[in-house]
Structure 1
Amino acid sequence: MTFWRMLNREGRVGAVVLAALLLMALLAPWIAPGDPLAITGEPMLRPFASAAHILGTDRLGRDVLGGLLHGTRTTLLVACFSAAVALVVGSIVGTLAGYLGGLADTVLMRITDAFQTVPAFLLALAAISVTGPSVPTLIFAISLGTWTQAARVTRAEVLSLRERDFVAAARALGMRPLEIAFREVLPNAFGPAASLAAISVAAAILIEAALSFLGFGDPNRVTWGSMIAEGRTVLRAAPYLSIVPGIALVVTVLGAHLLGRGLSRTERLQP
C-alpha cells in the first residue's frame, strides 16, 4: 500500500499543502533570485501595484514575495530538523526507559517530566538567550522542549513489546540487552512515535515564528515571524506586511496538523 493510499482525506490535503510549500522553498532562488533582505524598490508599495513586486514591498523597500519564499526555506528547515532531532532523542530515551525498566526507567521518566513541566517555548527562549540566535541553535532550542512526547509514546510501545516472543528468542540467541532494545524492539515501536513527526513540525513552526517575532531568530535569514514583526510597526498603513506572512504561517501549520491527524488515524487502523 502506497503512502498516498494510506492517508485519509484530511491527511491528503495536508500532504498536498506541505508538498506545495516544499516546492516553493526549492524554487525560491529561481522565482525570487538574489538576497531577500536587499532593498529592491520603493518603500511601502502595495500588492499588485508593480509587476516587479507582486506582493508589494516593506517599509525599507524589500520585496515581500521574495521574503515569503525564502522564509519558507528557513521555516521548513528549522521545523523539519528540530522535529527530527526531537524524534530521535525521544525514541532513544523512551526505548531505554521502557526496555531497561527499574531505576533507569524512573530516572529517565523523571527527567522527561522535568522537561515537560516547562513550556517548550520558554525552554527555547532560554536556550537562545544563552547560545545566541542562529539556525543550528534554533534547531537545538526547539527540539529541547519537544522530545518528551516522542519519549513517552516510545516507552509505552516498548513496554508492550519487551515481553513478546521475538524478544525472548533474541535473548536465547545471546544478544545483549541494548542490542535487543535498539535492533529488535525500537524498529517495531517506532511507528507510533513517527506519526507524531507532523505534529512536532507544526509545533516547531509556531515556536520558530514566535522567537523570530520577538527578535530571537537568525538575523541573517528572513523568516515569517520577523516579517510579521516588521509589519506590526505600520499595521494601519500597510496591513498586508503582516497579513501575507501570517496567512502563510496559518496554512503551513494547518497542513502539518492535517497530515499528522491522517498519519495518526492510519496508525490506529493498522493491526
Structure 2
Amino acid sequence: MKKITDSLSKEIIAAAEGEIAGIVTNGYTDAKLSKLRGCKVSSEERDEGLLLPLDRILGEGDALVVRNLGALNETNRPECPIGAKVYDTLGRFYGVLRDVCYEEQNGKVLSLLTQDSELDPATVLCFGKNAVVLRAPAHEKLLFRKKSKAPRRPAAKKQSSKPLLATQAEMTLVELSAWQAPAPAEETQALAPIPVEQSTLGENNYNFLLGRTVVKSIGKGSDLIAREDEIVTAELLRKARLKGKLVELTVNSRK
C-alpha cells in the first residue's frame, strides 16, 4: 500500500535526456475516485500539469525516475481532491481529505484519509473541486429499491394509415409527458447519483501544503514571499499563487 503524499514534491528525472521534468504536485484519478491513474507533474515552464502513469515509473526514492520525457502525457482526467471537504448525503462532515491510499501495482484506491477518519472509496457518490460526497448508509439501501410500477394505460388505438399512426404516437407522448406519478413520501425517495462536472483542480489544489514549514526563503525580485521556518498558511498560499511560486513553495517546504 502507498499514499499519494509519499510522492508529493519529489522531482521527476528523465534518464535518457538527463533532465528534471518537474515535480509531483498531486495525482490523477478516475471519475469515481476508485483508481489512481498516475502522478500530476508540474513545472514552472508549463501551466498545465502532465500525467505520469504509474507503470511508466522505473524507480522511486528521493526522486521518481522515468525512461524519457515521452513518459509524460497531457490529460483531462480529474485530480485527486486533496484538501476537499468530505460530506455524506445526510450532511455529516467527515473532515478534510488529507491523503489517498492505493495499491502500487494497479493503482486501485484502498482508502481515503481525513484527519479523523479512514473512508471506503466505494461510498463515493461524486466529487469536485472542493467537496467529496459519500453515500450515507440509509441512502445506499434506497439506491437499490425497486421502483414502483406506473399505472398501466390503455393501449393506443391502431390506425391503418401511416400518417395517422405517427399522429397517434405523438398524442401518446404528449399524454405521458403531462402525466405525473404520485410523489413518494420524502423519506422513501430514491437518491439518484447527481452528475457533477469534474473540473480539474489546477493550481488551486495546493491545500496539502497547509501547515508545512518553509525550509528555504522564497522571493521574487525584491519581494520576500516566504521566510525560512515560516508555517504555510492560506494567506501564504495566496501570495505564492499571485507570484507564480507555488511549485517552488512545494519543493522548499516540508511536513
**What TM bracket, shorter-length normalisation?**
under 0.3
Q: Normalized against structure 1, the TM-score is what?
A: 0.23
- Structure with more of its chain in strand, by fraction: 2
Q: Normalized against structure 2, the TM-score is what?
A: 0.24
The structure whose Rg is larger is 2
- Structure with more of its chain in helix, by fraction: 1
Where relative contact order (Cα < 8 A, 6+ residues apart) is larger, the structure is 1
